[in-house]
Amino acid sequence: MFDVKKIRADFPILSQEIYGKPLVYLDNAATTQKPQCVIDAVSHYYEHDNANVHRGVHALSERATADYEAARKIIAGFFNARSEREVIFTRGTTEAINLIASSWGGANIKAGDEVLITHMEHHSNIVPWQMLCNHVGATLKVAPINDAGELIMDAFDSLLSERTRLVGVVHMSNALGTINPIESIIEKAHAVGAKVLIDGAQAAAHLAVDVQTLDCDFYVTSAHKMYGPTGIGVLIGKESILETMPPYQGGGDMIRMVTFEKTEYNDLPYKFEAGTPHIAGAIGFGKAIEYIQNIGFAAIGRREKELLRYATNKAEVFNGLRQIGTARDKACVLSFVMDSVHPHDLGTIVDRDGVAIRAGHHCAMPVMQFFNVPATARASFSIYNTEGEVDALFAALKKAQDIFA
């Protein structure tokens, strides 16, 4: 049985009050809260093992290195990477995509080539490709979506060609909750010789991901959306591709030997990890993944579907509310607009009742433009949320509606 009270007890931040009301945290698509085990792991590193990794022979450095590399092993197992050499620590999804665009893209995408993304992408999976295409003279193509916020696969197919060098697609939309058919997308892209990047920032805490079964070339995500620390993420890439890619940054730890005449680069994964890494973040990331594994995706999936169904049912009968994103296959996100109330006003008003939601374009301005809205309000759910919190959200929305009536 899924014990939500027990789960909530693992997250100390949830016990507080905001403006005298119990905190209702429904901004999980922006960042998730952290369980005590993650907080303890980060604190333990700084209290007991604080030292740089890989370079020291003293006890603290050896302990820090062991925990840092243990986290890499946990992550490799979680995503079923072929080896730990395929697991590259980054500052998050954004840096991981920029790394791919700069290193692989800079070496492989030329004038006349095409990069294909979708209309529902986060800015992090749009801007780096625009920059690269503008620099080399390639073309950025965009697969459209329909009014439900679903990818139009016939149009996607028509945009794929022998000129497509890379397909970049979000696994789960942060603005709409849409879950894309990435298995089919990967197969279609590979059939024309294109590489595939999957942005898993929203998906990895909610859906089991097996990179070998998917056969994607790159999968990227961020720890802070998976109950882990901020400022740490991961790029998982096929070793055969990573080996051919030039380093993204130069400096310490990504080298084997340096002279003024030449530099020999380090082996994978360290070739892409220049400088002192976010050691505590990586250790905390490993603990966050273990936390997810202890609950299990079967239980997570069932619980989050229940919550989304409950919230969606309330939204459908709430007068004056219009949902943005009604895909048949979606998860954890309820985006909406309300008659006569700007989303920013909604966010401010419900906050006075202790309800934390997100209001804005969600780093997905093209999605807002498609639906012809300036912004949406977004409630996003996680394993520690309850039906009572959904009720609190809609009670706060009714107050906001009454104020503007």
Show which residues are catalytic: 363
- Which one-letter DSSP state was computed for residue 345? H
Which has the closest alpha carbon to 334: 349, 5, 346, 11? 346
Residue 360 backbone class (left: φ over 0; alpha: ψ -120 to 50; beta: rest): left
Q: Which long-range contacts (CB under 8 A, 24 or more apart) does 56-62 make?
A: none
- Rg of the chain over CA atoms, in angstroms? 22
Strand boundaries in 172-211, DSSP class E: 195-199
Helices and strands (H and E) in the chain: how many: 15, 17
- The Cα 27–Cα 334 span in angstroms is 11
CB 81, CB 226: distance < 8 Å: no
Main-chain dihedrals φ then ψ at residue 265, nearest 5 degrees: -85, 155
Cis preceding-peptide flag for 269 (omega within 30 of 0): yes
Beta bridge partners of 172: 179
Give φ, ψ of 356 to 5 degrees. -100, 110
Q: Report how far residue 134's alpha carbon sits from residue 286's, in angstroms, rounded to the nearest whole number.
A: 38
Q: Residue type at 96?
A: A
DSSP state of 331: -
Alpha carbon distance 258, 253 (integer Å): 11
